[in-house]
């Protein structure tokens, strides 16, 4: 029975993440980049200023519940997580070093995609069943495209319930705890469920407070550890960069396939893992940035654009370099995948203490991502059920926390496939709506640029 489920999920993933979706994500993102004249990326200084509080005073009376910084922290809490530690290892395990190159490409393109989709999330906000201001693709589709597109909004929300269950986070935390400390997966699952349940009882502001304090801490901690490893292996770094570029185009890491097919396979793996890591085009980040306290949709687009850079270009690259400079990924045991491969790299460089360094990072990354994902899942839940009797906040918390427990005890391959399926089907309505509405974003951008000409 288990093998039948595994085979079924693998087949669905292969179809869902076929070339049409890759073209939609990468091609659509490239179109948005060219269409905008790469203006979002050129305004990266302005984006940093906004995160640091510029114009905060004039936005005190704006709609929304949280600051630019808290919105970015919430989005990063869901993206800078085990996708950066375990997800990068999965990419290398499945597609070799060349997959990292295509993650970079997808991330740079994704910066423009995030700009557009998150600007739209503020431009077309709605209100949930508790009369709270909310944003996200389902509200954008509803308000901007009209009643005929309602089924697509519902489809996104249904897929969002699957894609944002945070199964990978509880699964990888359980795998690491079991492998290194002998703690049972079930016990880790109970911890995840209880911890996240307590945070969720505090509501959105509790989530914002937790993520805005934990995210910077975990990023700095992990980056410092990774940089130390790279200093210890400095002489290998140039060769690893060369390997990443060459493997991206010759496909030798995938044994047994024709060269051209191998390159296409590596490209798909890179794009898929980049989407899992930074979620550009998937539609999750707009749900976080839609809560920002601002009446300037373009300003939130700028803030959101920083996500893929920090997540994939910075953190994922550090993880990839740590793995590729520390271990021979082709020689490790087949069961040493995901976060366990990253753990091996840390232990190789730091010795026995390496597992404790990484263990703390994994704990921080996994718990913050669970909280960030819970926020997304909550928005999809209430959009669909609208607070109907039996489907209120308590039911949501119970269902989400139960899924965390199930994720902890499930097989990793099945967990990854379930989430990949959810992400794939979330991306389709989100990217279609973003591409259709791109002219409205550019119209707002021209007004914003005229207002803040000296800053852009």
Residue matched to tokens 């039948």: 4
Cα Rg, the chain, nearest whole Å: 21
Q: How many residues does the chain have?
A: 456
Are 333 and 325 in contact by the 8 Å Cβ rule? The answer is no
CA distances to 125, 127, 135, 219, 313 from 142, in Å: 10, 12, 11, 36, 33
Q: Is residue 147 part of a domain?
A: yes
Q: Is residue 7 part of a domain?
A: no
Q: Range of 110's domain?
A: 12-54+61-455
Q: Is residue 86 part of a domain?
A: yes
Q: Is residue 221 part of a domain?
A: yes
Q: Is residue 1 part of a domain?
A: no
Full pLDDT tens readout for the chain, 456 residues:
667 778 888 888 888 877 788 788 888 988 998 998 887 777 778 888 877 766 555 555 555 555 656 666 655 655 566 667 777 777 777 777 888 888 888 888 888 998 999 999 999 988 877 788 888 899 999 999 988 999 999 999 999 999 888 888 888 888 888 888 889 999 999 999 988 888 887 755 555 565 556 666 767 777 888 888 889 888 998 988 898 888 877 765 444 444 444 667 777 777 776 776 667 788 888 888 877 777 788 988 888 888 888 878 888 888 888 888 887 766 666 555 666 777 788 888 777 777 787 777 778 778 878 887 888 898 999 999 887 877 888 899 999 999 999 989 988 788 888 888 898 899 999 999 999 999 999 999 998 888 876 665
pLDDT for position 255? 43
From the CB of residue 48, how many other CB atoms can be counted at a distance below 10 Å?
13
Are 291 and 65 in contact by the 8 Å Cβ rule? The answer is yes
Sequence-ordered list of residues with C-beta below 8 angstroms from that of 244, at least 6 positions apart, any chain: 97, 98, 100, 101, 320, 324
Q: Is residue 80 part of a domain?
A: yes
CATH of the domain at 339: 1.20.1740.10
52 class by beta-carbon count within 10 Å (0-12 exposed, 13-18 middle, 19+ buried): exposed
Instruction: Output the CA torsion 377→380→381→387 (10° steps).
Output: 130
Q: Is residue 5 part of a domain?
A: no
Q: Is residue 232 part of a domain?
A: yes
What predicted TM-score, i.e. pTM, was given to this entire model?
Answer: 0.82
Q: Say how many domains are in the chain.
A: 1
Token pair belonging to 257: 């396939």
């Amino acid at each position: 029975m288990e093998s039948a489920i595994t085979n079924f999920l693998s087949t669905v993933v292969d179809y869902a993440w076929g070339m049409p979706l890759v073209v939609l994500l990468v091609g659509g993102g490239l179109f948005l980049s060219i269409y905008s004249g790469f203006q979002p990326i050129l305004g990266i200084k302005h984006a940093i200023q906004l995160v640091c509080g510029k114009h905060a005073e004039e936005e005190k009376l704006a709609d929304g519940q949280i600051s630019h910084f808290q919105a970015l922290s919430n989005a990063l809490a869901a993206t800078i997580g085990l996708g950066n530690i375990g997800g990068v290892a999965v990419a290398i395990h499945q597609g070799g070093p060349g997959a990292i190159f295509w993650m970079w490409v997808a991330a740079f393109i994704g910066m423009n995609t995030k700009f557009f989709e998150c600007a739209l999330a503020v431009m077309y906000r709605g209100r949930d069943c508790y009369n709270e201001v909310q944003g996200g693709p389902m509200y954008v589709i509803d308000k901007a495209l009209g009643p005929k597109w309602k089924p697509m909004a519902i489809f996104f929300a249904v897929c969002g319930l699957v894609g944002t269950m945070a199964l990978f986070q509880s699964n990888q935390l359980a795998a690491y705890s079991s492998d290194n400390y002998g703690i049972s997966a079930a016990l880790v699952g109970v911890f995840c469920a209880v911890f996240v349940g307590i945070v969720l009882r505090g509501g959105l502001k509790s989530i914002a407070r937790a993520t805005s304090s934990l995210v910077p801490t975990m990023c700095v901690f992990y980056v410092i550890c990774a940089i130390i490893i790279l200093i210890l292996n400095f002489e290998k770094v140039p060769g690893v960069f060369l390997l990443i570029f060459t493997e991206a185009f010759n496909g030798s890491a995938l044994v047994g396939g024709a060269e051209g097919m191998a390159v296409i396979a590596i490209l798909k793996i890179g794009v898929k893992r980049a989407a899992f890591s930074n979620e550009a085009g998937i539609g999750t980040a707009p749900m976080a940035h839609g809560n920002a306290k601002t009446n300037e949709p373009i300003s939130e687009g700028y803030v959101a654009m920083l996500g893929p850079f920090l997540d994939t270009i910075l953190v994922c690259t550090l993880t990839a370099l740590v793995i590729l400079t520390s271990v021979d990924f082709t020689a490790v045991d087949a069961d040493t995948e995901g976060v366990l491969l990253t753990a091996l790299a840390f232990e190789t460089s730091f010795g026995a203490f390496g597992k404790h360094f990484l263990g703390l990072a994994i704990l921080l990354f996994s718990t913050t991502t669970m909280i960030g994902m819970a926020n997304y899942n909550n928005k999809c839940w209430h959009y669909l059920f609208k607070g109907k009797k039996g489907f209120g906040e308590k039911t949501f918390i119970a269902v989400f926390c139960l899924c965390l427990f199930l994720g902890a005890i499930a097989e990793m391959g099945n967990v990854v496939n379930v989430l990949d399926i959810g992400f794939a089907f979330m991306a389709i309505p989100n990217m279609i709506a973003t591409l259709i509405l791109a002219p409205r974003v550019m119209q707002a951008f021209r007004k914003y640029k005229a207002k803040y000409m000296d800053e852009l």
